[in-house]
Structure 1
Amino acid sequence: MASDVDVDLGRLFESLRRDWLRIALFAIGITSIVFLLAALATPRYRAETRVLIEAGESVYTRPSTADDQGRALLDAEGVTSQVQVISSAEILAQVARQLDLASRDEFDAARISLLDRLFIMTGLKNSPAAIPPEERVLQAFREKLTVYRVENSRVIVIEFSSEDPVLAARVPNAVADAYVASQRAAKQRSNTEATDWLEPEIADLRERVKEAEGKVADFRSQSDLLMGQNNTVLATQQLAELSSELSRVRAARSAAEAKIETIRSAAGRGASLENLPDVLASGLIQRLRERQVELKARIADLSTSLLDNHPRIRALQSQLADLDGQIRAEVDKVIEGLETEAETARLRERELVDQLNQLKAESGRAGQEEVELRALEREAAAQRELLESYLTRYREAVARGDRNYLPVDARIFSRATVPAEPYFPKVIPVTIAAFAAALLVMAIVTLLRELFSGRAMRPAAGEMQPVEQVEMPADRERGKPAFPAVSVHHAGDLEEEPETAVEEKPAPAFVPSSSPLGEVHVEAAAEALIATGIGRAVFVSPEGDDAAATAVLVAREVSDAGLRVLLVDLTASGAASMPMLETISYTGITNLLAAEAQFADIIHSDLYSECHVIPIGTADPDRAMRGLDRLPIIMNSLSTAYDLVVVECGPAEAEALARLMDDDTQILVSVLDPADSAIKAARDELRQEGYDTPLLVTPVGHFPPPAPPGRDVA
């Protein structure tokens, strides 16, 4: 069992007090060097000019086609594009020539230091002399110039650093002026190109408009398309009017025929025709009827005093008979007039139908000609609209060129001024920072040296509490613990044991055993597990927890082969996890069963291999036993995450292994003494429970790895 150590903080920080002089001298030396370098460094000055990207046009002079272009210029991509324009080689070369930067020493890249000459000779750096002078100036210019866009704004900052404070202010102002001038020149060039292109296009369009309108006039005269009201073809308008007239005539003819049919029906029934509406509507008949009524009244008056044969009564009756004859004659004339009216309506209807058919044919022809006429008119209108738009743009471009009104979409709102103080080097802040950093680095070096020397380490204080025993279900029923409880004490409480010389010799990969049980070595068991691809290996140690080291050795052997291996310690004393961890007081499987921890809390790393281990844990055994039904689910989850899960059960009985088994499980029995009767009994018990013949593994000839400083190998 390994002894634990702690860091003695008092002794650790005592080393700082002991070595304070060396730390102070080192810090002062480094600070002096930094101070000299900062004092001798060439000061550099920085100045900046700010440009605002905005639409230069006013609402009164903005062209009608400039809205989309203005929106594209003012968005984020447009402003970023202007940053690239400002830092373009054309503008920088113009400024370099204007300020004669090639004559200044700080832009002369041809000066080569001794170190640069060495790099050039070894081929690690290209010679500046091979680069053209103008390119060298631009290269140095770009290194000193910074152009960027202020985030979430349309402001572009032009920043320049130089050894000369006046030059530091002149360069960004000159770059901004060159950018504005280039934008104005670009607009002037665009305006000139537009007028040069529009002028011949307008002349060509005028000819095309004239030709298109001539085609419209020629076609209209040839097709004889006369336009009526509402801008419709006359034939179509006449067709509509004639259709209305035909409907009216047909209605009149139908009404006359209905009247005649009524009169004929009344005559057939022997009814009086004088009471018909059309007859009564006649003025002559109405007057005759009135005369008839008067004669009948006079006859009635005279009949009171005269006989029927009286000459006066007979004269009146004769007049009444004449009136009846006149009424019948007038009725016949009315009926004849109705028949004449019906016949006239029929003739008019036939005439209108003939005219309607003629107009239909003429209207169809006029419709086809109208379609072609409209196509010609649309072509002429399109050419005319295009000509008008070109004329408008041409006049705008000519007016802007004549008046020299070409506003730039950028404005310099903050010009650079000559800086009063250099931004580099800041001698005092750099010196203070160097002193603090030197103190910190030297203090860390001193502490690490004290730790690595072991002088700051001391044995861990206190005594570890014994680990309670964990019972398997079958053993709980028998009333005895499956694993005996053991106590782990601090290494300082134990007496030193004399070291026993052990002759180290390499163990063979597989050594056949002469024992009748046929056990194999650790290497052979690991090779068998790797070759068969088993996902879970359950170790049983009938001889007690001392044999749990076999499972540890097999797990490490498989892990060294490159597989992901996890060892689960189910022994009562934690014997399997003792050689793998610094202490057995880690959270483990009982904490997970008791719902006190998660998987990430109980999985720990082996100190001597890439293997992982889950110790027995620190939870209350009785509470952990209540969650024992979750053990198969836990084992399945672990088998999914690892290539091999090794479970050390200690001296467990065969019937207690049911929760640990699945279809991909191999049972192994740890053997220390093949002559021990418990080995054969355990093998026979496993067979009786229905398990396959277990693989017997012995650790004989296998030596554990050496312990790290301050630890013993269990």
Structure 2
Amino acid sequence: MSGAGSVGNDVDIDLGALFASLRRHWLFIVVGALVLAALAWLFCLLATPKYRAETRILIEMRESIFTRPNGETAADRPVLNQEGVKSQVEVVTSSDLLKKVSDKLKLGDTDEFGRPSLVSRALAALRLKPDPTQISHEEYVLREMRDHLQVYSVPDSRVIVVQFSSEDPALAAKASNAIADEYITLQRAAKLQSTDDATGWLEPEIADLTKRVKEAEAKVANYRASSDLLVGENDSPIATQQLSEITSELSRVRANRASSEARAASIRRALETGAPLDTVPDIVSSGLMQRLREREIQLNAQIADLSTSLLDGHPRIRALRSQLTDLNQQIRAEGRKILESLENEASISRMRETELTREMNTMKAQAARAGDQEVELRALQREATAQRELLETYLTRYREAASRTGRNYLPVDARIFSRADTPAEPYFPKTLPIVGATFFAGLLLLSIFVLLRELFSGRAMRPVEGVVREPASEIQMPVADAPVGPSPERAEAEEKASPRTVHPARPAASVETIQQIYDSYTTLGEDVPENPHSVHAIASRLIELGMTRGLVVSPEGDDGSAASVHLTRELADRKLRSILIDMTGTGAISRAMLDGKEAAGITDLLASEKQFTDVIHSDHYSDAHVIPLGLADPERAMRAVDRLPIILDALEAAYDIVIVECGPSSAENVKRLIGAATQVVLSVVDPDDNAVALSALDLDENGLDDVLILMGAEPDVPTPPGDGRPDPRVAL
């Protein structure tokens, strides 16, 4: 508590004296660091040197375009990601691989890996390390190999590094290379096993697929024969082709019929109207009609020639006109014959159309049946095609696997691109770095030791300038059997006769004792400089005691709770970060600090409906803060009342002092809120009130005997000289 600390403590750390101790003890620090460095140098001389060898493996696809079917390249195959590379790291450190390397190098026969060292046996005897004799020799060798082995993947790459350390540099290089070689061998064996498993699985599958392909193709042939689905041109059924041909022929016949009917209609119209027949195309195109037309032209020409020399009644002209009439009748008769011919042609076309329509309907039914049968046929063909394609795929894979197994060509997707060489220098111990680090660490640790010793001895402390300690408030309390409300002379006489110094926080056991305290300091007038139970005095007492939490009990309800507001404001006026928590049940005092407004408060915080920032509000009349009663359901909030001490601890971390107005609460409930630096305060307005006496007895019976009595709102009593503060009830 910054504020309380500045008043309650009168010493501070003297940094100058603290660091001056380093100058006084520099020889101790330097000599101690040199001794530690010498011990580290001696350790480096006696330590067994260890050598480390390193082998690097690259994870990559080793396939060639010439060895993959269908021209597949290595780039078309998936590349291992980071998770795959880490999985390969686990393969390198597997027990099976390490056992094979151990047997190959006979590490179990060496002193370094086959037998525990003296240090290991000593640690095992002290039960600081598992006893090596309790496990098998093979397991012990594996454990030692793992202690000397380090395998990791290089970040952002597919490179695996295998490091092996040993006291023998040659053995370190051999073991590192042997682990890498065994990993490649293990991968090749895994691929061989995978290929063997594939060929073993493909053989019966191919035999079964061959049988199923034959059966499927036989079903296709049998169904086509039974359903008479003969295939013509363009792989289409004959019924479909015939339907197409009949449709084309029907269209042609209909066109001819329409043409014949149209031509017959034009000739019939010309005959009926008496129009010249030489305007009808079919009559014009007739050879006989053309000859008759030529004869008509000749007769008209002769009549025209003779008319120039002969009269119309001349026999010659009459004969020619008679021939011309005959000729016209022949022309019309020939026109009627052509009309009958066209009508016959149209009738034949209609009959042909009717026949073709009947045939088309028949072929439609046949084509529909053929379509349904063709659907079933296509389903059988698809099944046969799928079985055949799968068989061909299996045959291709089987031939590839068999050829690889026979030719022993199984490229591993990894290669060793950097083999380990015999290391020339040990990696441990590094004498110069170890000795140097030990020396500087010794300087640092010994300097810290000197500083702490100087600090804890008190020599680095100095008084704080300008701080005046407030004296503890003590009152002269009359004896228990003194009459209530003594005169000033009687009180002074008893003080001189048999005074009894009483801590101001200790409450009386009854209302009479409280009345004695009250009357003692309300009747002294100007003889007493300040009422020790006033707000000002209680605030000073809390600061002097270094309290961070004040629990105010107000048996008289809101009248007594009003003093808590004045106490919190008094602490804020003394530059302390103070906050008041309203737990009175009515919330009247917090509303007074907020101008009558209701806001989220402690019940909302207990019900987990609001955060600290939502329930902490500023007092409108001081620098203090307040947490009102809140708006949440009180019953729901009380179910989480066990969280209240935690909330108070959190507030104490942010504020110098936390005042909790408990209202007319019982001592049992107050005890739940007591923390490390907590002071219980009993707020009294009327000492004659029976509730005050009952509350004082309750506190005393429950062991709360160190209670401060706050009389910050005395009714009808003038403020003692020197106080000058308004009645807190008036302020509210």
Superposed CA offset, 1:288-308 (max 9, x none): 123212211211221121122
TM-fit CA distance, 1:674: 5.1
Corresponding residue for residue 248 of structure 1: 252
Q: Quick check: 1:402 aligned with 2:395?
A: no
Change (3 A) 1:572 1:100: closer
> Contact 2:552–2:660 (CA<8 Å) still a contact in 1?
no
Q: Quick check: 1:30 aligned with 2:70?
A: no
TM-fit CA distance, 1:75: 1.4
Q: Quick check: 1:237 aligned with 2:228?
A: no
Q: Quick check: 1:43 aligned with 2:49?
A: yes
Corresponding residue for residue 590 of structure 2: none
- Secondary structure of the corresponding residue to residue 146 of structure 1: strand
TM-fit CA distance, 1:668: 8.7
Structure 1 counterpart of 2:717, which letter? S
Corresponding residue for residue 381 of structure 1: 385
Structure 2 counterpart of 1:677, which letter? V
Corresponding residue for residue 286 of structure 1: 290
Tell me the TM-score normalised to structure 2 length.
Answer: 0.68
TM-fit CA distance, 1:636: 6.4
Range that drifts further, 154-163 or 400-409? 400-409
CA distance in 1, matches of 2:552, 2:424: 68
Corresponding residue for residue 61 of structure 1: 67
Superposed CA offset, 1:594-623 (max 9, x none): xxxxxxxxxxxxxxxxxxxxxxxxxxxxxx
Change (3 A) 1:349 1:517: farther
Corresponding residue for residue 711 of structure 1: none
Structure 1 counterpart of 2:181, which letter? D
Change (3 A) 1:274 1:550: farther
- Secondary structure of the corresponding residue to residue 434 of structure 1: helix
Q: Quick check: 1:173 aligned with 2:177?
A: yes
1:348-387 matches, cutoff 5 A: 348-387=352-391
Corresponding residue for residue 333 of structure 1: 337
Superposed CA offset, 1:264-317 (max 9, x none): 455555655553343333232233123212211211221121122323212211
Change (3 A) 1:343 1:427: same
Structure 2 counterpart of 1:89, which letter? S
Corresponding residue for residue 118 of structure 1: 125
Corresponding residue for residue 495 of structure 2: none
Q: Quick check: 1:303 aligned with 2:307?
A: yes
Change (3 A) 1:46 1:567: farther
Superposed CA offset, 1:158-206 (max 9, x none): 0111111111111010000011111122222222333333333333333
CA distance in 1, matches of 2:551, 2:728: 25
Change (3 A) 1:183 1:272: same
CA distance in 1, matches of 2:575, 2:222: 111
CA distance in 1, matches of 2:506, 2:72: 89
Q: Quick check: 1:9 aligned with 2:8?
A: no
> Contact 1:568–1:647 (CA<8 Å) still a contact in 2?
no
Range that drifts further, 172-181 or 388-397? 388-397
Structure 1 counterpart of 2:392, which letter? E
CA distance in 2, matches of 1:356, 1:579: 107
TM-fit CA distance, 1:351: 0.9
- Secondary structure of the corresponding residue to residue 412 of structure 1: strand
CA distance in 2, matches of 1:629, 1:688: 16
- Secondary structure of the corresponding residue to residue 436 of structure 2: helix
Q: Quick check: 1:78 aligned with 2:74?
A: no
TM-fit CA distance, 1:341: 1.1
Change (3 A) 1:80 1:668: farther
Task: Pick the aligned partner of 1:677 from 710, 714, 717.
Answer: 717
> Contact 1:547–1:671 (CA<8 Å) still a contact in 2?
no
Q: Quick check: 1:420 aligned with 2:424?
A: yes
> Contact 1:102–1:108 (CA<8 Å) still a contact in 2?
yes
Corresponding residue for residue 466 of structure 1: none
TM-fit CA distance, 1:62: 2.9
Range that drifts further, 219-228 or 77-86? 219-228
Task: Pick the aligned partner of 2:202 from 173, 198, 201.
Answer: 198
Structure 1 counterpart of 2:435, which letter? T
Q: Quick check: 1:99 aligned with 2:105?
A: yes
- Secondary structure of the corresponding residue to residue 550 of structure 2: helix
TM-fit CA distance, 1:569: 5.6
TM-fit CA distance, 1:338: 1.4
CA distance in 2, matches of 1:455, 1:447: 11
Range that drifts further, 73-82 or 147-156? 73-82
Range that drifts further, 327-336 or 22-31? 22-31
Range that drifts further, 677-686 or 437-446? 677-686
Structure 1 counterpart of 2:403, which letter? A
Change (3 A) 1:496 1:59: same
> Contact 1:47–1:160 (CA<8 Å) still a contact in 2?
yes
CA distance in 2, matches of 1:684, 1:455: 46
Corresponding residue for residue 189 of structure 2: 185
Structure 2 counterpart of 1:577, which letter? L
Structure 2 counterpart of 1:97, which letter? D
> Contact 2:50–2:167 (CA<8 Å) still a contact in 1?
yes
Task: Pick the aligned partner of 2:449 from 445, 456, 463.
Answer: 445
> Contact 2:230–2:237 (CA<8 Å) still a contact in 1?
yes
> Contact 1:160–1:168 (CA<8 Å) still a contact in 2?
yes
| Equivalent residue pairs, number | 573
CA distance in 2, matches of 1:117, 1:337: 130
Change (3 A) 1:288 1:136: same
TM-fit CA distance, 1:24: 3.5
Change (3 A) 1:306 1:509: farther
Corresponding residue for residue 548 of structure 1: 539
TM-fit CA distance, 1:262: 4.3
TM-fit CA distance, 1:502: 5.3
CA distance in 2, matches of 1:685, 1:24: 66
TM-fit CA distance, 1:63: 4.2
CA distance in 2, matches of 1:578, 1:248: 111
> Contact 1:38–1:427 (CA<8 Å) still a contact in 2?
yes
> Contact 1:566–1:646 (CA<8 Å) still a contact in 2?
no
Corresponding residue for residue 577 of structure 1: 576
CA distance in 1, matches of 2:620, 2:163: 72
Change (3 A) 1:97 1:638: farther
TM-fit CA distance, 1:127: 3.2
> Contact 1:51–1:410 (CA<8 Å) still a contact in 2?
yes
TM-fit CA distance, 1:137: 0.8
> Contact 2:713–2:729 (CA<8 Å) still a contact in 1?
no
> Contact 2:12–2:461 (CA<8 Å) still a contact in 1?
yes
1:114-153 matches, cutoff 5 A: 115-120=122-127, 126-153=130-157
Change (3 A) 1:268 1:285: closer
Range that drifts further, 419-428 or 325-334? 419-428
Change (3 A) 1:572 1:12: closer
> Contact 1:246–1:353 (CA<8 Å) still a contact in 2?
yes
Structure 2 counterpart of 1:233, which letter? P
Corresponding residue for residue 220 of structure 2: 216
CA distance in 2, matches of 1:282, 1:238: 38
- Secondary structure of the corresponding residue to residue 48 of structure 1: strand
> Contact 1:551–1:576 (CA<8 Å) still a contact in 2?
no
Identical amino acids, percent of aligned pairs: 49
Corresponding residue for residue 507 of structure 1: 506
TM-fit CA distance, 1:551: 7.7
> Contact 2:551–2:660 (CA<8 Å) still a contact in 1?
no
CA distance in 1, matches of 2:56, 2:234: 64
Range that drifts further, 283-292 or 50-59? 283-292
Change (3 A) 1:412 1:253: same
Change (3 A) 1:278 1:513: farther
Range that drifts further, 168-177 or 362-371? 362-371
Structure 1 counterpart of 2:310, which letter? L
> Contact 1:543–1:671 (CA<8 Å) still a contact in 2?
yes
Q: Which stretches in structure 2 are left out of the alignment for 5+ residues? A: 1-6, 477-499, 520-530, 554-563, 580-617, 632-643, 652-657, 662-681, 686-709
> Contact 2:65–2:74 (CA<8 Å) still a contact in 1?
no
> Contact 1:3–1:491 (CA<8 Å) still a contact in 2?
no
